[in-house]
Structure 1
């Protein structure tokens, strides 16, 4: 079945960010290696957003069975090239889709995602499916008898899980490759990385292999791949989405949604947020409003009067000129909508060493029971940070925690003046797949190029990435929207305003 949705963005395709038509590079050619539908191809159910699917189900125009079949077809077509999925369970997905179709036929959907195809990052426990975390050393025996909170919430709301997505081993770095499943690739250009650690989820969503996927973000792992693959992702206020089992990376680690549209991102965040007794630090269930924040129709109304700071370098980081131009143009959009925008930097201290203390010691703790043989099978980069993590003292850890508390207080004061902070999500576009860092930073850890993302894990603030343009080679560029703690709705409203003003959904890999 072929669907041509009546979406506002379709009529405004010429106004889409970057080049208006297709995936073209500076020479007018198609972006290299893109495996999915090209501009002008018919839109299938695999190309629809979750909100569009739900509307079509309710109107009787489309069945969850058709939508899930379209997604499974897309996975069969594109996953061999992308390696976005480490596990696909088509028959279970079909069975769940048939059950959903029957509920819709009776007018009794079980929740707010009933029949929507979705995937799960292979970090989140999923009942009946192995969770191997990209590690050869992980046991495949289970028992796999429990859902993590995010999976449980989505299942309660009727989401149809089609499979699990790839991650670097233990989600330790900002790109996605591991000794278990190999290299995951970017649907905009197969020679490049989708980023990480939620790179499999990002590649799946970008390529139409399900409109929703779970992500985790301990130093940028939702926002980095969202930027590199041209999708939306938000790292919510820490504790808003419960986390179980507790992450070895402690209170750096957030769980959040990944989607193609702000409306889907907001809907999924609303579903997965709220208290879970298994997370002893989970926040109370929020009141209504998260989903509605992604559904506004007047972009000016969503941001008019907001005091917005724009930091083009966040303390002097080097930014690719194409990225800098695209982000500066995006910032001007907010000004044109009536927000009060000024260039201002929060002046955060350099924190990479302290972040490493927290991150590397977490990796060491996560692997403390592995045998020598298991360690030999690990990603060499992971082995290296584990060895360094074992050298830190309790004093080192407490010193790092003291700096992050000071950073949190500093950002709290900053947001007394500014409602939001805008920055590039990443200082560059996607680079070569299979590398931890771009060639100019060869030999350095992934944190050397993720300086726009990990500081806000230190401060636990909500931070989202939305597409804001394309490079001359046709690779996506992301805009980061950061708010004070507990301002997730405000961040979503700002993202929605930008999506309305500069629609991007009509442009696909």
Structure 2
């Protein structure tokens, strides 16, 4: 990060050089005054019960390491899934190489392919409407950070599932769409907040569960520092169970 962070004339989205060295911040950044809060579902998700228990226990351990009382945050924001599947689908065209669509459509995950299919023939007004969805989400997400500095939540709504898919269609007894198995990365991705996922533990079946830390925009060093503090409080194996 220290090497790559900073402006590039070819990319108008790049930022000025950061005011900190991440290599130093990860070990020494003072986070004693941080306002940290936990949300089990970011106000919209459905979470597997075992995942919820594991993640909350991990969050409580982080609060203990920070010497802070456990705190919850109530969240009410526009549906990020709709924004992800609409504005996110438009953005996806920017990274699609010439000739990939529709020739390689079969290689895409189902809901990703659906996003391309739904947005392929959008008009300019339709695209603008989807960007307004994202702006509403950005405004709502930013308002949360008026009262907190970091929001903790599960990384995914379910334990790890096979990379080949399909993702689970039922969570905690409720039927859900495929995007709702991994919904909690969407706000940070859409709003450009730095976030980090750390190992929270394993389910009774030995499947990994993650704790996600969402920091304020442009405060990557905070996410890195909290990840390091958690790692020191709850070290995790360097290798996956069963692998040397």
Q: Which of the five TM-score ranges fits, normalised by the shorter chain?
A: 0.7 to 0.9
- CA 1:365/1:272 → structure 2, altered by over 3 Å: closer, same or farther? closer
Asked if structure 2 preserves the Cα contact closer than 8 Å seen for 1:308 and 1:340, the reply is no
Name the residue aligned to 1:497: 229
- Partner SS for 1:412: helix
Query: Residue in 1 aligned with 2:145?
Result: 415
Query: Distance in 2 between the 1:506 and 1:295 partners?
Result: 19
TM-fit CA distance, 1:454: 0.8
Partner in structure 1 of residue 189 of structure 2: 457
Q: By how many angstroms is 1:471 displaced? A: 0.9
SS of the residue 1:482 aligns to: strand
Gaps of 5+ in 2: none
- Quickly say closer, same or farther: Cα 1:316–1:352, change in 2 above 3 A: closer
What is the aligned length?
Answer: 236
- Report the Cα distance in structure 1 between the residues aligned to 2:109 and 2:228, rounded to whole angstroms: 41
Q: 1:405 to 1:508 in 2, by over 3 A?
A: same
State the superposition RMSD in angstroms.
2.8
> What is the CA distance between 1:410 and its match in structure 2?
2.3
> Who is 2:57 aligned against?
329
User: Is the 8 Å Cα contact of residues 306 and 340 (structure 1) preserved in structure 2?
Assistant: no
Shift of 1:362: 3.8
Alignment match, 2:43: 315
The answer to whether 1:488 aligns with 2:217 is no
State the alpha-carbon separation in 2 of the partners of residues 411 and 373 from structure 1.
Answer: 34
Q: Deviation per CA, 1:167-194, whole angstroms, max 9, x where unpaired?
A: xxxxxxxxxxxxxxxxxxxxxxxxxxxx
Identify unmatched segments of 5+ residues in structure 1.
Answer: 1-268
For residues 12 and 145 of structure 2, what CA distance do their matches in structure 1 show?
28
Which residue pairs with 1:73 in the alignment?
none
Aligned to 1:469: 201
Residue 498 of structure 1, CA deviation: 0.8
Would the aligned equivalents of 1:355 and 1:458 in 2 still touch at CA under 8 Å? yes
Contact 2:169 2:178 in 1 (8 A): no
Q: How does 1:118-197 map to 2 (within 5 A)?
A: none
- Give 1:359 deviation, angstroms: 2.8
1:357 paired residue among 86, 94, 107: 86
Deviation of residue 360 (structure 1)?
2.5
Alignment of 1:31-46 (within 5 A): none
Aligned pairs for 1:365-404 (under 5 A) are 369-370=98-99, 374=103, 378-379=107-108, 381=110, 383-404=113-134
Q: Which residue of 2 aligns with 1:426?
A: 156
Q: 1:308 to 1:476 in 2, by over 3 A?
A: same
State whether residues 80 and 137 of structure 2, in contact with CA within 8 Å, keep that contact through their aligned partners in structure 1: no
Distance 2:75 2:109 in 1: 36
Closer, same or farther: CA 283–372 of 1 in aligned 2, 3 Å: closer
Bigger-Rg structure (1/2): 1
Tell me: CA distance 1:377–1:504, structure 2 relative to 1, closer, same or farther (3 Å): closer
- When residues 339 and 303 of structure 1 are mapped into structure 2, their CA distance, relative to the original with a 3 A threshold, is farther
SS in 2 for 1:469: strand
| 1:343 counterpart (35, 58, 72) | 72
C-alpha contact (below 8 Å) 1:364/1:389 kept by paired residues: no
Question: 1:273·1:286 contact (CA, 8 Å) conserved in 2?
Answer: yes
1:287 paired residue number: 19
- Contact 1:357–1:396 (CA under 8 A) maintained in structure 2: no
- Give the structure 2 partner of residue 61 of structure 1: none
Q: TM-score, normalising length from structure 2?
A: 0.83
**Contact kept in structure 2, 1:437 and 1:444, CA below 8 Å:** no
How far off is 1:358 after superposition?
2.1
Aligned CA distance change for structure 1 residues 484 and 342 (closer, same or farther; 3 Å)? same
Higher relative contact order (CA 8 A, sep 6+): 2
